[in-house]
């Protein structure tokens, strides 16, 4: 049922409505299909692939294909070898939703989710849906985060975020300041430093994971930690090992001596940045690799956010609205649920719970 949304005359009814057709929404779709649920997936993009279709071309996953797969179907290993690229991931997700005949409607942008007594009311640009349960799986790519620093509006060079980065070509011969201490910053620094003079600035000294630790090990650690917390034990987290996966380009940059970071500056000037001791550095470009925030604007009418901006959950279910589940986003919706391999487990648990919820709603009718 892939295709453009058509204008509706009245609300359409569905048991489960999934907002977002990226990997998290598709993993939910896989399990909903298995239990023969009445469901639809609404996705704002023109094409399949979620955020991956907007990532920079050289981006490589931090795990091999078999550790980057959704339920039911293994991601094929790239013919060129190595870890899959963003384009490989888009191809995989495109094939995945066709193979399982997932009912994705796109482009369909959900503007708001509201309550009524029986159902949740889902408003899109061209019509309204009434759903017994809503799964929100809208990701983070759509809310890039740039921290505020004094003078940020005065800088006369170019500022951009990871989400705007499409490759190193525009930075040839320039002075580029890269901000951020995680994977995006390290991977982008690794390639920009081959064509530009780079300065790397991080809040705390960057910590590369040991070479043998990739997404597989991180997932296994997240799983061990999750099991331990269920039995009240304490196991150290992924963050205790380090922050940056040493994928091959990052290792090469390390071996070239490029991965040396300066502490965070305190203000931005017309020409560059300045530190509290009076040191300044001129640059042409500030590239903010400072992360993303959950894209939850469509849920604002439900007024569920806590002081940290996140929606408190038990498992994937919103504490303040049991008819709403959240998938992806971060560990607060399930361990590693925002990764390809982790999406599967959270989606399975959510659909198990939702199936019971929908049955109970059916009995109440
Ligand atoms: P998305 O891919 O963002 O999909 C959400 C979908 O919802 C999109 O299609 C969007 O258009 C749609 N949507 C949003 N709002 C609405 C709305 N209001 N109405 C309708 N549709 C809407 N994970 C790994 O496992 N391995 C990696 O190597 C890896 N590398 C990463 C590198 C980077 C730079 C980043 C940012 C993330 C990386 N991740 C990685 C994490 C994660 O896998 C990706 O962020 C992934 O895209 C998350 O999938 P998702 O389905 O949760 O969200």
Q: What is the pLDDT of residues 273-285, one digit of tens each?
A: 999 999 999 999 9
Q: Is the CB of 68 under 6 A from ligand 1?
A: yes
Contact status, residue 268 vs residue 199, Cβ threshold 8 Å: no
Range of the domain at 164: 158-208+243-288
For residue 326 and ligand 1, the question of a CB distance below 6 A is answered with no
Find the 88 Cα to ligand 1 centroid distance in Å: 15
Residues 187 and 299 in one domain: no
Is 0.85 surpassed by the pTM of this model?
yes
Q: Are 78 and 84 in contact (CB under 8 A)?
A: yes
Give the confidence band of 233 by pLDDT, cuts at 50, 70, 90.
low
From the alpha carbon of 51, which atom of ligand 1 is closest?
2
Position 146 pLDDT exceeds 90: yes
Give the per-residue pLDDT at 6.
Answer: 47
Looking at every residue in the chain, the average pLDDT score rounds to: 91
Residue 296 shares a structural domain with residue 284: no
Report the domain count for the chain: 2
User: Does 51 sit in the ligand 1 pocket, CB within 6 Å?
Assistant: yes
- My answer on whether 45 and 22 are in the same domain is yes
Token code pair at residue 148: 């505020």
Residues 144-164 as b or e (16 or more Cβ within 10 Å = b):
beeeebeeeeebebebbbbbe
pLDDT of residue 220: 74
pLDDT, residue 172, reads: 97
For residue 188, tell me if it sits in a domain: yes
- Ligand 1 pocket check for 328: Cβ under 6 Å: yes
Ligand 1 within 6 A of 215 CB? yes
Convert the pLDDT of each residue in 39-81 to its tens digit: 999 999 999 999 999 999 999 898 889 889 999 999 999 988 8
């Amino acid at each position: 049922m892939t295709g453009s949304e058509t204008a509706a005359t009245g609300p359409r009814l569905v048991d489960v409505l999934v907002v977002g057709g990226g990997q998290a929404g598709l993993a939910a779709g896989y399990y909903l299909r298995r239990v023969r649920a009445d469901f639809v997936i609404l996705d704002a993009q023109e094409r399949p692939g979620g955020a991956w279709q907007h990532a920079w071309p050289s981006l490589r996953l931090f795990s091999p294909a078999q550790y980057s797969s959704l339920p039911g179907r293994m991601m094929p290993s790239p013919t060129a070898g190595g870890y899959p690229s963003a384009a490989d991931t888009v191809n995989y997700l495109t094939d995945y939703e066709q193979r399982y005949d997932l009912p994705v409607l796109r482009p369909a942008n959900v503007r708001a989710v509201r309550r009524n007594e029986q159902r949740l009311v889902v408003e899109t640009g061209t019509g309204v849906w009434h759903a017994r349960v809503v799964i929100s799986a809208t990701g983070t790519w759509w809310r890039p985060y740039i921290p505020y620093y004094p003078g940020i509006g005065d800088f006369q060079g170019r500022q951009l975020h990871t989400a705007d980065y499409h490759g190193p070509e525009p930075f040839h011969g320039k002075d580029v300041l890269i901000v951020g201490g995680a994977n995006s910053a390290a991977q982008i620094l690794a390639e920009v430093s081959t064509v530009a003079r780079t300065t790397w600035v991080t809040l705390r000294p960057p910590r590369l994971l040991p070479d043998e630790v990739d997404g597989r090990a991180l997932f296994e650690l997240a799983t061990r930690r999750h099991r331990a917390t269920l039995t009240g034990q304490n196991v150290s987290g992924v963050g205790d090992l380090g922050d940056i996966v040493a994928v091959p380009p990052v290792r090469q940059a390390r071996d070239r001596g490029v991965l040396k970071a300066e502490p965070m500056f305190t203000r931005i000037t017309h020409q560059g940045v300045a530190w509290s001791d009076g040191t300044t550095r001129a640059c042409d470009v500030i590239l903010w690799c400072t992360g993303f925030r959950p894209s939850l604007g469509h849920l604002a009418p439900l007024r569920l956010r806590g002081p940290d901006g996140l929606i408190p959950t038990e498992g994937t279910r919103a504490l303040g609205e049991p008819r709403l589940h959240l998938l992806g986003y971060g560990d607060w919706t399930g361990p590693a649920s925002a990764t390809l391999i982790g999406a599967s487990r959270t989606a399975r648990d959510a659909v198990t719970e939702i199936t019971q919820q929908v049955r109970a709603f059916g009995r109440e009718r």
